[in-house]
Structure 1
Amino acid sequence: MNVFLDAFAWIFSPDRTTGYLPLWEAILQHLGFTFGSVAIAAVIAIPAGWAIGHTGKGREIAVFLSGAARSLPSLGLVVLLYLVIGVNFKEQAAVVAFVLLAIPSILAGAYAGIEAINRSTVEAGRAVGMTPMQILWKIEVPLGLPLLIGGIRSAVLQVVATVTIAAYVGLGGLGFALIQGIQTRNAAQILGASIVVVILALVLDGAFALFQRIVVPRGVAVQNSSPTRRRTRRAPVPAT
């Protein structure tokens, strides 16, 4: 218990607002790396996922590439890119690694959202004369949005936890306090920085969970919450 008290004392100490990297600045850097990397990954993965879900082509390749990207060791990839790209581009090296980490979840959310749509809904759109692009933007994208947001939510959580390794190549973020605490054997600092990362992840997860509920189309939400929606039962067989 004393260790946790010391950790919270470290977090709320006046010293956290001063020094080489104040805590508030480290949090902003951490968020900057997180949202910047996820935004770049979204620009790449969302159109590809929508194309896969809409056409039904390339799913196997996407699954293979996603699995390969997930298996890459983040720290090793950051260090490798740091060495290959060069010291002057260490931020770019770290961002590339985080983007590769975020792409699989967003890609899966994009095409799974479209694949999960009832085909009769799509066929109804075709029946009223909608073009393929109208079906994509007016039916598939809105109905698939909740799963897409779920994929982005998963990507954000993965990246916000992984951004701490950026400090290994001399970048900031909350990983700086973690590494500094390890080097100085300061348990309160290590635990305090870890708690801040966990709180940050929980806040982001809660925000995206709320957003995921908000983007559910109104008709779908009403249908899912309707009290008259009951499980279909077999009619009793009349006695003979």
Structure 2
Amino acid sequence: MGVVERTWTWLATGAHWSGADGVWHRLSEHLYLTVVCLAISCAIALPVAVVLGHVGRGGALAVNLSNAGRAVPTFAVLVLLLLSPLGTYGSWPTIIALVLFAIPPMLTNAYVGMREVDRDVVEAARGMGMTGRQLIGRVELPLAFPLIMTGVRTAAVQVVATTTIAALAGGGGLGRIITAGFRLTDTAQVVAGALLVAVLALLVEGVFVLLKRLLDPGRRRRLSDV
């Protein structure tokens, strides 16, 4: 049989989906790492970007510093964290490495989105007596929302794909299927694991595209006007 047939056979074998090393368990680990990393990244990057974008100061420095972090390989950061005292804290080295990887696209897109809001609209809202908090909540955030969500979606897909490196450090996730395949010299298992990661990334992409459409304040306002 060819690689395609053997990969399909591997995926169609029920024993590969159950147990501690099965697909469902590894998928749950992968999703856990992804959700935790995204939640922490959003809690750090979005408030900073929104505030800096609103005041218009310090944003360029923050964006440049976060983008500089992209030049550092995530796996190298993970190895350094594993060699540090944090290496004894379970999944936290992986989570921290992935958070550092996810922050740049979130921070950059959110800041740019806030700064690209039409200044005439902002000044008009300020002239109506809106406070800074009201400007952010009622004017700037709704207009910047599409670009903010694009940054979150980009980070989510990147984290899903990069979480596979957790397996190289003994962590969980779908990457364990790939590393086990390499260890067993089972090409079908390696391809199956990679295919599962790719499908999950595409599903996450689709979910965030749908969320962007459903939660977009501008779209809801347009629908209410019809």
Distance 2:39 2:69 in 1: 17
Q: Deviations over 1:28-70 (max 9, x none)?
A: 1101101110110110001100011101111221122122211
Work out the CA distance in 1 between the residues paired with 2:219 and 2:14: 51
Which residue number in structure 2 is paired with residue 162 of structure 1? 162
Q: Report the counterpart of residue 116 of structure 2 in structure 1.
A: 116
Q: Which residue of 1 aligns with 2:182?
A: 182
Partners of 1:146 and 1:215 within 8 A in 2? no
Q: Distance in 1 between matches of 2:126 and 2:116?
A: 18
Q: Is the 8 A contact 2:164 2:175 kept in 1?
A: yes
The residue type paired with residue 9 of structure 1 is T
CA distance in 2 between counterparts of 1:20 and 1:203 reads 24
TM-score (norm 2): 0.93
Structure 2: state its 5+ residue gaps.
none
> Contact 2:86 / 2:92 at 8 angstroms: preserved in 1?
no
Q: Does structure 1 conserve the Cα–Cα contact (< 8 Å) formed by 2:177 and 2:190?
A: yes
Are 1:82 and 1:90, in contact at CA under 8 Å, matched by a contact in 2? no
Q: Which amino acid aligns with 1:76?
A: A
Q: How many residues align?
A: 224
Q: Which is helix-richer, 1 or 2?
A: 2
Contact 2:18 / 2:24 at 8 angstroms: preserved in 1? no
Contact 1:82 1:93 in 2 (8 A): yes
How many angstroms apart in 2 are the aligned matches of 1:207 and 1:182?
A: 31
Distance 2:56 2:37 in 1: 27
SS at match of 2:91: helix
Read off the aligned partner of 1:150 and give its amino acid letter.
Answer: T
5 Å matches for 1:21-170? 21-170=21-170
Greater C-alpha radius of gyration: 1
Taking the aligned partners of 2:7 and 2:70, their CA distance within structure 1 comes to 32
Distance 1:68 1:220 in 2: 37
Distance 1:128 1:71, change over 3 A: same
Query: Structure 1: how far apart are the matches of 2:167 and 2:20?
Result: 14
Query: Partners in 1 of 2:180 and 2:11 — Cα distance?
Result: 14
CA offset at residue 212 of structure 1? 1.6
Aligned partners of 1:88, 1:186: CA distance in 2, in Å?
A: 31
Q: Distance in 2 between matches of 1:190 and 1:115?
A: 44
SS at match of 2:89: helix
- TM-score, normalised on structure 1? 0.88
Contact 2:19 2:25 in 1 (8 A): no
Gaps in structure 1 of 5+ consecutive residues: 227-240
Residues 168 and 120 of structure 1: CA distance in aligned 2, closer, same or farther (over 3 Å): same
Contact residue 41 and residue 102 of structure 2 kept, 8 A: yes
> 1 CA distance for matches of 2:90 and 2:73?
17
